[in-house]
Structures are given as structure tokens and as C-alpha cells.
Structure 1
């Protein structure tokens, strides 16, 4: 058993209240259970209890054993002086506050229906990827739908907060935060680390000065990425000459990368980092205020067009310097563009919603995801085996969040589906 089970029992008051009393023999009445606290300090805050003839307002701390109070050194922590009740499975020792006064204790092991504990332990010991798989068919679809909607919002808020932190670390510059996120996402996992290195090697301040020239942007990006050291054709030599001038002008030598930082293995030519860099140059050239564009775009089609900026004539016909492709690459493919919508546009919208307090931007992010069709992945397949089907990118993001936040860590007591299963078992 873990403490989350007792948190669940206390929060929902799923225990026998007949002749309820503390271990000290005082009568106990729960007037308000309190609010679950996810930050440091006692587990439940703003509880109201009547102990004996006195009504108390304060916090409730939950442990498996009363002695855990001492093990966690709460007797020396003034944050726990506000605790008015210590809820435990077993009361093995008395506990005190920093001033030496005793904390009232409620022992639960004889008051909890063992069927609840058996169901909880069955969930905890499950060997399947989804702990509640045996119970899944018994849970109403509406419960699953509402939980997935919740996990989608949680995932977007988390991704948005990551962007807000970047925004704040760069002096509250939204364009800079968007630039960092854009470059990281342009790596598409295989070259993500290399693109993150490039974001540091080529400051946005330098990019901004040359966004009107696609040629100069290619020179800066391909040069700082390490692809112009040994030019293979005339166009590469032209870029190298321009890059050499810009590198000295902005003292970029120390930050420059090398070709070995990039991965070409098991990739189609259309996905080569050289092609991605050309696409990135085209995007930065076409959209000089990308953050504003992401906020203002009014359809998935507009987002796709935004990320599918046409590359220069040279890169329409080459995938490496001196290596021509059979069919022209005019712009990024639709699948890659949609990947950037999910990993750049949506987090930026969520971040701005969090920062500005404008719910409409979060609604817009969700709406965009609901319009995108995305293939299933290893996480959605866990749920598909149980009969649930992902239809949109929103479904995929929700399933990923459900698995990582609740199913994989067996955090069933914080999941609406797990809660429903426990409630049904208690009622049966």
C-alpha cells in the first residue's frame, strides 16, 4: 500500500464513521475534509473538524504509519504545527508538534472495506501497461472521455509552461522563445539535439538582421551548422564566402558546429538536415514575426502554409551540396508541417494562454489538434487494445498524457477512471 490510497480514502471519506474517535478516545466529526495539497507541507489544507467539543480549522496529514511523522521530521517543521489531525493506517506511536503538543490521530485499518484495498492492490500489481485493463470495459465511456479531456489540457498546460519558462529566461521575448522551440522541433527527434545546439550557436539577434535575405539566412544556418567547411559546388562556395564575412562580423567562430553533429543515417533525402536547414531558412525569411503569425493563424490550412515556406531554387533540386534529387522539393511535406503544428504552434498557443490568462488561446490549441489526423503510436495502441480508438492528434496527445501521468506510474487514485473503478467496487 502507498499513501495515495489513504489520500483517496480520506478525500472521499470511504471509511466507517460509526463511533468515530481519535486514538486518544476523543469523538471526531469531519465537517470539511480539506483541499488536496500538491505543494510542500501537509497533505490536505483548510479542513474543519470537531474533536471532542472543540471545532478546529487547519490541515490534515496522511501517513501509512504514525511513526512516519518522525521519519519525515515533521516534529521539527513549523509548517506541520497547523495539522489538526493525523490520518494513518496504523497508529504505532504518538506524535507531537514543534511545541510538544500531541497531534490527534485517526487510525483507519479497521474502518476501510477490504474490497477497496483488494481492488487497489490489484491495480498496483497489474503487469499490463494499463493497470485497470481488467476493469476497463466496466467503466462508462463518458468517464473515459472526460478523463482524456482532462489529460489533454494537463499536457498542453505542461508544454505551455515549458515555453513560458524559455520566454522568461530570454528577457520576456516571445519571438526568442518561439525561435528556440522552432529549432528544437525542426530536428524531428533524430536531429533534435543538433538543432538545439544550432539555436545556441546562431542567436536570433543575428538572424533578425538578415531575415530579408534568404541567401544570407542559408549562409548563416548552413555555415554555423558546419556544412560549408569544404564546399562541394559553386553554390556552396558562394554561401561559404558570405558566411565567412558574417561569421567574422558577428564573432560566430567559437559557437560554430561541425558536420559530425548531424545524423544522416537511415533517413530519406527529403529529411536530410541540409534540406531541413534550407526549409528553416525559407520559413525565417518568409515569417519575420513568427510568434504573431502563430497567434493569428485562423485554420489548420493556414498553419500548414506557414510551415511550408518554399525553399530556394537550389534546394528544390538538391538534397546535399552537389547531389541532385530526382523530383523537386518545393517545400516541407504536409506530414512534417503538421508535426510542427503539434510541437510548435500548439505549445505557443498554450503558453500564451497561460501567460495572458486568455482561455481562448488554449481553446484554439485544442481545436487545432482536433482537426489534425495523426497515426496511432505505441501509447495509443495500449488503449486501442482495450477498445478505445484515437481519431485525432488531440486523442493521441490525451492518451500520451494519460499513460505518462497516470497509467505508467500507477497513479490510479488520481485518475477519474481509477476512481470510478474503486467507487463501483465499493458499491458492489
Structure 2
């Protein structure tokens, strides 16, 4: 028996409410279970109860056994002076206030049905399962799952907002600078995400502002900071970039000693860091006030037009420096733009609106439901249990579900787990 299960039982009144009595035989009427406290102190604040003929308002503490009160040293903690009811699974000793009056105790094991207990034990029985509820996930009502996924989607946006808030503090609330860092990171995708993040962090965005009107100069800045201009290659464009970068390095006192080197290994040529950095330079070359444009747009097709950018001319015949390839226009693809929207644009818009007191949740939902679901191991595994993910809202929510609930055994805080226990 775990305390969090007892919290769940008390919070949701999963007991026979008409047959409650304290261990001393007084009838208990629960008007309000109180506010669940996840920090230090009693488990539930401001509960409202009637014990016998006396009305009480105060705190409720929950333990597996009554003796846990002493095990946790609550008898010497003033925070527990206002406890009006001690809720336990098993009563094994009486608890007293400082004035020697007993604290009423409610024993739950007498008033909780075997059905709930059996469902709880079934859910948490370990047998090498991917998630605790994998045998029953398909049986859960679609309406419940869809509502839960929408809530999880916004939970994930809140989590992503933490990184954005940290960057805002570092840049003194420069949203354009934060957008640049986040976009650069996600241009690197999974393999080069941290590398591109370090590249963006190595350059003050004021420098990007000064050079973005010249695409070749901006490329020189990005390639140079990435450490991609340090080889001996006979190539006119490469030599020009080196010369330009050396000028920028001296002018702006640039350093890149903390930059993580980008990787080419096991990447398809369209995802080479050279191509992605050139596309990023093209995006900023074509959009002098990118953040303002992103905040103004609320339509998915408008975003696709905004990100309709390509590399500079050199990269139409190259994937890496000095090695010519078949001519091809290397535009940002729709799936790639979708990833930028999911991981950068939507979180930025959400965080900016929240900071300024604007409610754009419906706009966010419209965008998220128009973008096709991501494909990854988590989404694929859930879809095998039950076809669940059709949009990016679903796929992002399922990632949140797996990482923050399933992996941490937080089934009692999950709408699916709660439903299965019922």
C-alpha cells in the first residue's frame, strides 16, 4: 500500500461515504476533502468535516499506518497542530494533540471496495510492460483520452516555456534573440541540436542583426562559429567565407571555444549542418523582423509561406565544401517546417501570449491539430496499443504522457489510470 494511493482515495472520495466512522466510533461527514498539498506540511489543507456533532475546518494528514505520525516526527512539528483528521489505511496506535486530546482517526481499509483495490494492484503489477496500463489502454473511452491529451499538450507547452523563460532572462527579455537561439537549435534536429544551440549562444544576436542583410556574411558568421572554416580546401566560395569570417571575428571579438562541433556522420545529405546553416541564414536574410512576423501569423499556410526559404546559390551544387554535386534547390520541406512549428514557433507564441496576458489557446489548438502527427518510438508504441495519434497535438501530448506519467508511475494523477482504477 502506497500513500499516494491513499491520497487518491481521499481526494476523489473512493470510499463508502455514508458509513464513515472514526476509530472511536464517531460518525464522519466529509463536506470538503480540502486542497491537496504537494509541498511540506499536512497532505490536505482546509478540509471541512463533521465529526460526531462537531463541525471542523482544518487540515487532514494521511498515512499508511497511524504510527507513521511518530515515524515522521509530526508530534513535534507545529505545522501539524491544525490537523482535524488522521486518515490511515490501518490504525495501529492513537495519536494525541499537545493538550493530550486524541486526534480523530479514520481507517480506510474498512470502507474501500475490493474492486478498487484489485484494479490498483492490477495496474501497478510489474511484468516487463512498456507502460502499466498497456493491457487495458485500448479499452479506455476515446472522449476521455482526447480530453486528457489536450490537457497534456498544454502541460508540455508549459514545460517548454521554462527553457524560453531562462533564455529571456539571459537575453534581458530580447524575444528576437530567444527566437534565434531556439530556431537554430531546432534547425540542428536531434543529431546536431545541442551543437547548433551552442553556435547560437556563442553569438550575441545584435551581431546577427547587423549582418543579416548580407546572406554571405551571415553564412560566414555561422559557419565560422561552427568551426567549419578551419580546413585547407581549394574553393573560391570557401576562401571568401574564411576572409569574411576573419574580419567579423576581429571586429566583434568573436570566440567559439565552447561550441560543440556539428556532426555529418550518419546524416542524409539534406540534413548536413552546412545545408541547415545556409537555410537558417536564408531565413534571416529574407526576414529582418522575424519574431514580429511570427507573432502576427495565426494560419498554418501563412507559416509555410514564411518558411519557404532555400540555401544560397553555392549550396545548390554542393552538400559540403569543395565537393560538387548534382544541381538541386534545397528548400525547407513541409515536414521540417512542421518540426520547427512544433518545437519552436508554437511554444514561443504560447509563452509570449502568456507573458502579455493574452489567451491564444484556440489559435494554438487550431495550428496543432492541422499539423500531422510526429513519428517516433513513443507515438508508434501508443498507436500499436490503440490508434491514438493523428495530429501534432496528439503526438506531443503522448510524449508528455510517457515521460511525465508512465515512466514515473504517476498513474494516479493520469486520467487514464484513474479511469482504470474506477
One fold, TM greater than 0.5?
A: yes
- Asked if residue 411 in structure 1 is aligned to residue 410 in structure 2, the reply is yes
Q: C-alpha separation between the residues in 2 aligned to 1:100 and 1:251?
A: 73
Would the aligned equivalents of 1:376 and 1:390 in 2 still touch at CA under 8 Å? no
- Compare 104-113 and 266-275 and name the one that shifted more: 104-113
- The 1:33/1:368 distance shift into structure 2, 3 A limit, reads same
Query: What is residue 402 of structure 1 aligned with on the other side?
Result: 401
Q: Once the 2 structures are TM-superposed, how far is the Cα of residue 63 of structure 1 from its aligned partner?
A: 2.1
- Count of residue correspondences: 420
1:243: which partner in 2? 245
* Pair 1:211–1:74, CA change in 2 (3 A): farther
Q: Which residue of structure 2 lines up, in the alignment, with residue 200 of structure 1? A: 201
SS of the aligned residue for 2:341 comes to helix
The verdict on how the C-alpha distance between 1:314 and 1:345 changes in structure 2, with shifts beyond 3 A counting, is same
Paired residues of 1:164 and 1:355 also in contact (CA < 8 A)? no
- Pair 1:131–1:186, CA change in 2 (3 A): same
1:59 and 1:84 in contact (8 A); partners too: yes
Which position in structure 1 is the counterpart of 2:191? 190
Between the aligned partners of 1:67 and 1:187, the Cα distance in structure 2 is: 55
Contact 2:269–2:319 (Cα < 8 Å) also in 1: yes
Deviation at residue 18 of structure 1 after TM alignment: 5.1
Q: Is the 8 A contact 1:23 1:104 kept in 2?
A: yes
Given that residues 130 and 407 in structure 1 are in contact (C-alpha distance below 8 angstroms), is that contact kept between their aligned partners in structure 2? yes
Inter-partner Cα distance in structure 2 for 1:384 and 1:279: 34
SS of residue paired to 2:81:
helix
Q: Give the CA RMSD over aligned residues.
A: 2.4
Q: Aligned pair 1:211/2:220, yes or no?
A: no
By how many angstroms is 1:149 displaced? 1.9
After superposition, the Cα gap between the structure-2 partners of 1:390 and 1:237, relative to the gap in structure 1 and judged at 3 Å, is same
1:77 positional shift: 4.0
Report matched runs for 1:371-386 at 5 Å.
371-386=370-385
Q: 2:182 aligns to what? A: 181
SS of corresponding position for 2:310: coil
Alignment match, 2:236: 234
**Alignment CA distance shift 1:144-1:257 (3 Å):** closer
The alpha-carbon distance between structure 1 residues 354 and 298, as it changes in their structure 2 partners (threshold 3 A), is: closer
CA distance in 2, matches of 1:307, 1:21: 66
Per-residue displacement from partner, 1:13-51 (whole Å, max 9, x unpaired)? 122345533334444221111122334433222211123
2:198–2:258 contact (8 Å) kept in structure 1: no
List runs of 5+ in structure 2 lacking aligned partners.
none
CA drift of 1:322 comes to 0.7
Contact 1:86 1:106 in 2 (8 A): yes
TM normalised by structure 2 equals 0.91
Matched position secondary structure for 2:375 = coil
TM-score when normalising by structure 1: 0.90
Q: How much does 1:182 deviate?
A: 1.3
Higher mean Cα deviation, 234-243 or 44-53? 44-53
Which residue is 1:324 aligned to?
Answer: 324
Q: CA deviation at 1:117?
A: 0.9
1:298-334 deviation digits (Å, cap 9, x = unpaired): 3222222333323211122221111122132332222
Aligned to 1:314, what secondary structure does the other structure show?
helix
SS in 2 for 1:343: helix
Where do residues 26-175 of structure 1 align in structure 2 (5 Å cutoff)? 26-95=26-95, 103-127=103-127, 128-175=129-176
Per-residue CA distance 1:210-257 (angstroms, 9 max, x = gap) = 121212211111111101122521111111111111111221136464
Deviation at 1:347, TM superposition (A): 0.9
Structure 1: runs of 5 or more not aligned: 424-428
User: Is the deviation greater in 243-252 or in 137-146?
Assistant: 137-146
Contact 2:66-2:90 within 8 A present in 1 as well: yes
How far does the alpha carbon of each residue in 1:335-361 deviate from its partner, in whole angstroms, 9 at most, with x for none? 21211111111111221233223222x
DSSP-derived class of the 2:38 partner: coil
Contact 2:225 2:256 in 1 (8 A): no
Q: Secondary structure at the match of 1:311?
A: coil
SS in structure 1 opposite 2:385?
A: coil
- SS of 2:183's equivalent in the other structure is helix
Q: Give, in whole Å, the separation in 1 of the partners of 2:185 and 2:52.
A: 60
Helix, strand or coil for the counterpart of 1:253? coil
Following superposition, the deviation at residue 102 of structure 1 comes to: 5.2
Deviation of the 1:296 alpha carbon: 1.3
Task: Write out per-residue CA displacement over residues 141-179 of structure 1, whole angstroms, 9 at most, x where no aligned residue.
Answer: 212222222222222222234323322343222222222
Q: Is the 8 A contact 1:60 1:87 kept in 2?
A: yes
Partners of 1:96 and 1:188 lie apart in 2 by 60
Structure 2 partner of 1:426: none
Flag the 1:171–1:13 CA change in 2: closer, same or farther, 3 A.
Answer: same
Could you tell me how far apart the structure 1 residues matched to 2:227 and 2:76 are?
A: 57
CA distance in 1, matches of 2:185, 2:98: 49
Residue 311 (1) aligns with residue 311 (2)? yes
